[in-house]
Structure 1
Amino acid sequence: MLLKDLVGQSQNGLSFPEYCLKHIVLDDRTPYNVFNRAYMKEIVEAIFTHPHITITKGAQTGQSTLFLSHSFYMVDIHGANVIYYLPTDKMAVRFGQTRIDPYVERSEYLRSRMLGTDQAGLKQIGTHFFYMLGLMSKTGAISIPADEVLFDEVALINRENMDLAQDRILASKLGWQRYFSTPIYEEDGIDELYRESDMNKWVVTCEGCGRESIPEEEFPDNMRDDRAKGGKVYLACLKCGAALNVDNGRWIAEHPERINQRGYRVPQLAIREARLDLIWDRWLKAQGKPEKIARVRRSALSIADSGNMQPISSKVLEIVEAAGDYYFQDRSDIQCAMGIDMGDRAHVAVSAPWGDGFKVIAAFHIDVEDLLPLIPDWEIAYNLSALVIDAMPYKTESKRVVRALRRATGYIQYFKPNYKETTEGEDEKEVRVIQIDRDESLDEMTSYFGTNPPQALLFKPRDTKEEKTLDEVKRHLKKLVKEEIVGPDGQKKISYKRNTENHFGMAINSALIALMLRNHGGSISPENILTAGKRKIAQLLRGYDDA
């Protein structure tokens, strides 16, 4: 009833399923039946009744077609303005040309409804608009008001720009948000949004014994391959062995109390006609190859798995937590190092040497304007020997922090390909500068957490406040994820993702660099702080042996 209450009765009385059957023609020239898969019924109902929908999906599960058709319906029948976001402008234009335009061309009705502007990234139906925009920059996130925003390929969209784009619906009575994507990174992108929702899962009931199961969570134990006996590959009940009918299922929310955010996980295994033989063959061939296993888990199971592209995962942090046996520290008798990631808020990590590695003994996140007065107290309390702070985006404030140190040696930090130590400014304004390769330093830092047993530890919280801080630290460490980019030389390379909420991870990285610098010598008394760890870092840093 929500839609009718807000925008009135549809112009021609067609329901959305009727509209799709009558006016949406698929690539194979058949009418679009939104209920051709059992799991779709509740999702279709939800997108017309619930303001916030998240769908983490396997490949080819029909969500893009559903939301594209939904967008036509909303603009055409209900006079809404809709924005369909994709990660980049190039993807948005290509989507318009290869997906939207063919739907219009195949439907005499849709062709007749197009008015005025008819571009790949903009369709006008009547007096309302259907936009296709990229979110690589903030430009696509501003200026255009809308009643509904849809985000496709969320796993690849810049989160900050996506948050800005949500402002487009503030003036609308509807104000609907829809997010859908195949997951990549654990607790990042679409997986993070799904975990914040009520987390509906498709639960299948065995027609043989009545046992309920979630197929993707029992994969691969529930797969049976009878092809050698003239049979087929099928999903089996783990209790009685009967073949599962995935249409005999229902959505069950893991967190029904989260009424403000509806979420669904849609794996390929929930599709009755899914090619289970191909999925199974891909899985068998992927064994021993983490990246290929990750692709199958993402596309077939709709489970976030980045392979080697997310060095610090939940499993890694479970091992780290089990190895740690110390609490958040307010002070330290041994010399420590501090790393600070600068932004709208400053994220601070204090690290102490530990064996061949290090341990994080304290972490803070504070307003930038409150940072400077705390430096003298922290320097004494944590017996700081070195501090490394981002030069950007607040270089003036970062320099003030370095100059506020009385005993410790401070550096402002730039991420550049070649390792270098230098200075900026003159006389009393002079500060030390460290420039270092971002990807290589992060590879080194994350490797300390990733070894088993770990060579990096995290503190245990003493109270609720510290528990929240620790949760944020772990969340930011998991967001130190990699992606494939094209470098300045035009060559593809794997690099740590930028513009993501990994601030504590970057602060811990700076604290580790500060430990290395403390051991480097110079004006600091040489003590063996990182032992073998120091040598490991030194080998990593370009030019270190020659510095």
Structure 2
Amino acid sequence: MTETPELPWHALDLATEARRHERARALISRLSPELFALKVRRVRGQPFSFGGHEYLRDLYADQHPHVVIEKAAQMGASELAISRALYTCVTRDGVCVILFFPTDQDVRDFSRHRVAPALEDLRQAGLLDDTGARKTDNVGLREVGRSVLYFRGMQSGIRMKSVPADFLIFDELDESPPEFKPLARERLSHSDMKWILELSTPTLPDYGIDVEFRRSDQRYWHVECGCPDGVVLELTFPECLARRRGGAVELRCPRCGRGPLDPSAGRWIAHAPERAERRGYHLSQLFSTAISPREILEEYETTRNVAEFHNSKLGIPYAGDRMPLTRAELLRAMGEHERGAAGGGLRVMGVDQGKILHWLLLEIAERETRIVDLGVVDGFPEIARRIEREGVALCVIDGLPNQHSARDLARSLPGRVALCYYAEAHRGEPDLRPGRDTVVVDRTEALDRVVTDLLRGLVALPDRLDADVEELIRHLTAIAKVEKEDERTGERTARYLRTGPDHYAHALGYALIAADRARRVPVVTARAGRAR
């Protein structure tokens, strides 16, 4: 009889640990997602609870493949995202979950301070198998059982192309560049799951998370009152807040008059149930127990930032003065010159890159700068021909994404083409000295210049509204300026969002940079004509 060789003591320990892990995993897989959070999760060192957050119970239970959460600040949605990601990894084999954030710094903060403690919760519950091979553990990648969690910033499209995924989570969607989201969603193309969770505090109407929420079944929290369906507090604000004697403020239904209302006593009702392909939830601080009705009303009455109040307190998008250019203002900026007409002034051009090239031609007159012509072309050779044909003294072109083609254009027309690069928080004036074929500018300042010159009447549009000029107006009215506060420093910074195509806005910004350089540098250009 052959004896079974004894295993070394450390191998026995590993086997015991592996069996313990499998038993714990089998038990958890029988739990619902909300029970998983209650049994396993801890938040700020305390066991997870729905106490004071009853509105979240249905969200934790919801396993719809596409969930959208338009939310006020500090409503527990990020913890929900962590729980759903971990539950998916623990209860399924071999899945890949990617969490997307606006910046790489957001990735580092979230991974270290929010996800690392949550993984320790799993470890304490016996759900992380740390036996055997060394596990990957860094801010960009965490292994959870037989599945993985990736964390990616959305500042660059390059980092979104490398990893196939089964489940995508977009945190603070409105803070991320919208052009990169399709690249992220492409990660799901080979998955059978194709799950998506999107959550964000809104900024502007019909932008970012608000677009996705409007495409969903639009579920609102209806608080119980005397009305058959209850009352949606954020849709009846500020009438849903009533002052009592002594200065106290209570929640009250403006229709039936019942109050004070208990915000925890409510139910979710879909306002667009026919849109079943997306499950949408709207979260407002009005039904949070962490902030009192009195605090909300006092802030509403004293705030200097109305837009931020609507976004962060009510979870409602707000435009107000964030849209600096309106159609009416641009119609007032129309000049008396015909499109394409030559006035004899110095000509400069701005070009914005995309799938196609948007170009805009300026002519510098005595009292104003005129938009003489504009259009789109497919390739850089056509831009070169137009520069020659129009006698352009200087063209400033977007340096990205086709940097090599842009540089080839600059080499073919030495001294007449410069590449422009945006840099956040770039200090100082653009370098407009001759011989420089690159310009670095702050993106916000460049678009501020576009807005200011149009509103002051320093730039004139052509005198007729043809299809191209209408497109120009649409692009100019698509830019919106919002402020964001750095949570660590408290510093507020402004930036521009695009609510639609905005290529001509950037082309005009580049053309104005070209005009500044052309004014400083004597330029002699040869126009087409018979030699003498």
TM score, norm. by length of structure 1: 0.69
- 1:506-517, aligned counterparts within 5 Å? 506-514=506-514
CA contact (8 A) 1:183 1:191 kept: yes
Which residue matches 2:295? 278
Secondary structure of the residue aligned to 2:191 is coil
Which residue matches 2:382? 371
Matched, 1:75 2:89: yes
Matched, 1:119 2:146: no
Q: In structure 2, how many angstroms separate the alpha carbons of the residues matched to 1:349 and 1:64?
A: 43
Which residue matches 2:397? 389
Which residue matches 1:23? 40
Matched, 1:265 2:282: yes
**Residue 67 of structure 1, CA deviation:** 1.5
Which residue matches 2:329? 320
CA contact (8 A) 2:98 2:152 kept: yes
Which residue matches 1:474? 477
Secondary structure of the residue aligned to 1:265 is strand
Which residue matches 2:16? none
Return closer, same or farther for 1:395/1:138 CA change in 2, 3 Å cut-off: closer
Question: Which residues of structure 1 form unaligned runs of 5+?
Answer: 1-8, 404-408, 425-431, 526-547
Deviation per residue, 1:45-66 (Å, 9 max, x gap): 6x5223x333221112121121
Matched, 1:98 2:102: no
**Residue 136 of structure 1, CA deviation:** 4.6
Return closer, same or farther for 1:119/1:523 CA change in 2, 3 Å cut-off: closer
Which residue matches 1:131? 150
Return closer, same or farther for 1:234/1:328 CA change in 2, 3 Å cut-off: farther
CA contact (8 A) 1:398 1:412 kept: no
Q: In structure 1, how many angstroms separate the alpha carbons of the residues matched to 2:355 and 2:221?
A: 43
Q: In structure 2, how many angstroms separate the alpha carbons of the residues matched to 1:482 and 1:23?
A: 38
**Residue 75 of structure 1, CA deviation:** 0.9
Q: In structure 2, how many angstroms separate the alpha carbons of the residues matched to 1:183 and 1:213?
A: 22
**Residue 317 of structure 1, CA deviation:** 1.9
Which residue matches 1:297? 310
* Structure 1 range deviating more: 208-217 or 180-189: 208-217
- 1:350-429, aligned counterparts within 5 Å? 350=361, 363-369=374-380, 371-372=382-383, 375=386, 379=390, 387-390=395-398, 393=403, 394-399=405-410, 410-414=416-420, 417-424=428-435
Letter in 1 for 2:243: D
CA contact (8 A) 2:223 2:233 kept: no
Secondary structure of the residue aligned to 1:113 is coil
Identity between Structure 1 and Structure 2 (%): 21
CA contact (8 A) 1:421 1:433 kept: no
Which residue matches 2:195? 176
- 1:202-241, aligned counterparts within 5 Å? 202=220, 204=222, 207-208=225-226, 214-226=232-244, 229-230=245-246, 232-239=248-255, 241=257
Return closer, same or farther for 1:192/1:378 CA change in 2, 3 Å cut-off: farther
Secondary structure of the residue aligned to 2:70 is strand
**Residue 300 of structure 1, CA deviation:** 0.7
Q: In structure 2, how many angstroms separate the alpha carbons of the residues matched to 1:461 and 1:188?
A: 27
Return closer, same or farther for 1:203/1:360 CA change in 2, 3 Å cut-off: farther
Q: In structure 2, how many angstroms separate the alpha carbons of the residues matched to 1:397 and 1:373?
A: 10
**Residue 299 of structure 1, CA deviation:** 1.6
CA contact (8 A) 1:387 1:514 kept: yes
CA contact (8 A) 2:223 2:266 kept: yes
CA contact (8 A) 1:39 1:250 kept: no
Return closer, same or farther for 1:388/1:401 CA change in 2, 3 Å cut-off: farther
Return closer, same or farther for 1:211/1:493 CA change in 2, 3 Å cut-off: closer
Letter in 2 for 1:76: V
Return closer, same or farther for 1:373/1:101 CA change in 2, 3 Å cut-off: closer
Return closer, same or farther for 1:83/1:518 CA change in 2, 3 Å cut-off: closer
Deviation per residue, 1:284-333 (Å, 9 max, x gap): 342xx33xx443222211234699xxxx7347425425646799976335
Structure of larger gyration radius: 2
Deviation per residue, 1:355-389 (Å, 9 max, x gap): 97667576434433463376169739xxx786443
Return closer, same or farther for 1:186/1:347 CA change in 2, 3 Å cut-off: farther
- 1:179-194, aligned counterparts within 5 Å? 179-184=198-203, 189-191=208-210, 193-194=212-213
Matched, 1:504 2:497: no
Letter in 2 for 1:284: E
Secondary structure of the residue aligned to 1:59 is coil
**Residue 177 of structure 1, CA deviation:** 2.1
Q: In structure 2, how many angstroms separate the alpha carbons of the residues matched to 1:173 and 1:454?
A: 55
**Residue 73 of structure 1, CA deviation:** 1.2
Return closer, same or farther for 1:270/1:514 CA change in 2, 3 Å cut-off: same
Matched, 1:347 2:353: no
Which residue matches 1:59? 73
Q: In structure 1, how many angstroms separate the alpha carbons of the residues matched to 2:381 and 2:279?
A: 38
Letter in 1 for 2:171: D
Matched, 1:148 2:167: yes
Question: Which residues of structure 2 form unaligned runs of 5+?
Answer: 1-25, 526-532
**Residue 77 of structure 1, CA deviation:** 1.2
**Residue 151 of structure 1, CA deviation:** 2.0
- 1:442-453, aligned counterparts within 5 Å? 442-449=447-454
**Residue 252 of structure 1, CA deviation:** 4.0
Query: How many residues in Structure 1 have an aligned counterpart in Structure 2?
Result: 478
Q: In structure 2, how many angstroms separate the alpha carbons of the residues matched to 1:267 and 1:358?
A: 47
CA contact (8 A) 1:57 1:180 kept: yes
Q: In structure 2, how many angstroms separate the alpha carbons of the residues matched to 1:220 and 1:57?
A: 18
